[in-house]
Amino acid sequence: MCPDTGKAEAGHRGRKRLNAEENERVHFKEENKMTINNQAVETWIGEMAEMTRPDRIVYIDGSKEQIEELRELAVRTGEMIRLNQELLPDCYYYRTSPKDVARDEKRTLICTKTREEAGPTNNWTDPQEMYAKMKKLYQGCMKGRTMYVIPFSMGVPGSPFAKIGIELTDSVYVVLNMCIMTRVGAGAVRLLEEGADFTRCLHSKADLNENEKYIVHFPEDNAIWSINSAYGGNVLLGKKCLALRIASFMGRNEGWMAEHMLILGIENPQGEVKYICAAFPSACGKTNLAMLIPPELYRKQGYKVWTVGDDIAWLRVGEDGRLWAVNPENGFFGVAPGTNDRSNPNALATTKRGTIFTNVARNLDNNTVWWERLDKEPLVNGEDWLGRPWNGRESEEKGAHPNSRFTAPAENCPCVSSEFNSLTGVPISAIVFGGRRAKTEPLVYEARNWNHGVFMGASMSSETTAAANGAVGVVRHDPMAMLPFCGYNMADYFRHWLEMGRQVTDPPKFFHVNWFRTDEEGAFIWPGFGENLRVLLWMLDRCEHKVSAVKSPIGFQPDPRDIDLTGLDIAPETMKKLLSINLDIWKDEAAGIETFFSQFPDLPKELAEELTTLKKNLLIPTANPRNASSSIAV
């Protein structure tokens, strides 16, 4: 089933690996070897080793010395390429198999005792059946290889938010990525030796057989098994697998929430910082918003934006009755194409040191990296993501894969928050949902209350683009941007949100945004990027009761005069379009929401009631958002 170490690993075609004898001559320093004094841990590792049969076992302590030795090993085997260390210090390049380039949702399973527990939106298989199938695939799959034991913490060790995991893997790429994305080593080991429970994560590349690829979650056993993939989203098991699918299940049982949300802080000229969580489906500017740079007008006034997290938030109710959030990750696993000095200069700056680049193009003139829309000059002497010679001026094919990635340490980010490593997290003033809608959703509106906010998130959707899949305007529902990541029945997930609302005595306000309204020619009419701060500041003014709002059929909208447009060339008629609501389009929207909700037999009654309210409101003429007399203070 498994290739021997003398063969070239898929994804590194033409590069020779060390053979087994050479591999045995690569030794780790004695001080980098360790054990974990926890009988449950050692028993589990022993059982997994007995099944997978590695030649040796190496414990990962996260030290700089051990990481450097692993980098050297990856370069010697051809698994990774060392990039220009003057221009990109401690940066490396990696290629996956051409058939292993993204998360594989069809082969991502939630295995619970009953199908109902997984719900209609997850792929379900009986856990005993799946264990039996997986054990056959794992049998002897690490022969000739090293099993790496990675003890890691999601969240700062010692924080009440933190969760501990151990990933066993035969991939150096996984080890090095996990050392960026999670907190590996002593902190996690200490908690394990104190008896902390841990998520049991098992991964093997096996032989990268796409027909036997599985990413399987056993929420009731706190376990994740992944095989036959080497792509980050399928094998970095601390990320979406633990931090969302397993953690959402934990959160439901323990009274907190794991969400697919960024966390950002906005500092005003007086030095006060307010925090916002936001959830967006793909292609809606999530990372760009997380690392937003204020427009020059606001920078001169003293406004700053701080990044706490770009992808995942864990939220708990604090003793003060507010909702507090942490980012459980320690790095960024970002999409490279489209990242540039205009779209996200902070993200680009973050990649300049200690980063692993996956499936991008390589500049052979200076041994650096390149991807589409990085700059205006395509490579002439390049190598594409498949390792082929590539001239961007002549080739019709892309140099970088559209889902090519960078894995970068969060500490590199110029705008990383001083609260990034906080044990208690940050208090959340506003929760934002958003999507890409050409005509339906206005620029911004506010929920009436918590239940309406949950409805807003549960019904959120986005339209596909031609670049995405060849179809324009196809509406896809993605509740809270969690559809691929919820580890249990989504109807129960909605119910958990509603229950959390009853625990929060000082709740955040909920908002919906749409940066993507278009005119009759299909051009965007809101400038987006850093200018989105203007809308966020209106939200915070609402949270602090500084401005009134206009009642509409879908919620509360801004009086246009309350969104500062200083320095923008936006005419009053354009602003009217941005905030307009077409009742006929919204009636169709309500019908689409009803159809989506119909797949949940046990939909919470509160959401059904909110849908009924929306349909009733759409029969009432909408208030003129430019009429100040219709404003209400709430």
**CB-based burial label for 513 (10 Å; 0-12, 13-18, 19+):** buried
CA proximity to 177, closest of 221, 130, 242, 230: 230
DSSP 8-state symbol, 411: G
CA proximity to 608, closest of 458, 473, 487, 508: 458
CA proximity to 554, closest of 512, 525, 520: 512
N-to-C CA span, the chain: 64
Distance CA 316, CA 326 (A): 9
CA proximity to 36, closest of 204, 185, 201: 185
Distance CA 274, CA 286 (A): 18
What are 383's strand-pairing partners? Answer: 362, 389
Residue 23 host element (H or E): helix 20-24
What are 164's strand-pairing partners? Answer: 153
What are 557's strand-pairing partners? Answer: 550
Any catalytic annotation for residue 284?
yes
Query: Which of the following is catalytic: 111, 284, 415, 486?
Result: 284
Long-range contacts of 389-393 (CB under 8 A, 24+ apart): 390/361, 392/361
Distance CA 273, CA 304 (A): 9
Q: Are strands 475-477 and 426-434 parallel, antiparallel or unpaired?
A: unpaired
What count of other Cβ atoms lies within 10 Å of the Cβ of residue 449? 15
Distance CA 463, CA 349 (A): 30
Tokens 């801004």 belong to 558
- The dihedrals phi and psi of 326, each to the nearest 5 degrees, come to -125, 155
Distance CA 371, CA 12 (A): 19
Q: What is the 3-state secondary structure (H, E, C) of 302-334?
A: CCEEEEEECCCEEEEECCCCCEEEECCCCEEEE
Query: What SS3 class is residue 152?
Result: strand
- Residue 78, CA distances (Å) to 6, 167, 169 in order: 12, 23, 18
Distance CA 578, CA 576 (A): 5
Residues 6+ apart with CB under 8 A from 614: 455, 553, 554, 586, 590, 593
Is 183 in contact with 157 (CB distance < 8 Å)? Answer: yes
Q: Kindly list the catalytic residues.
A: 284
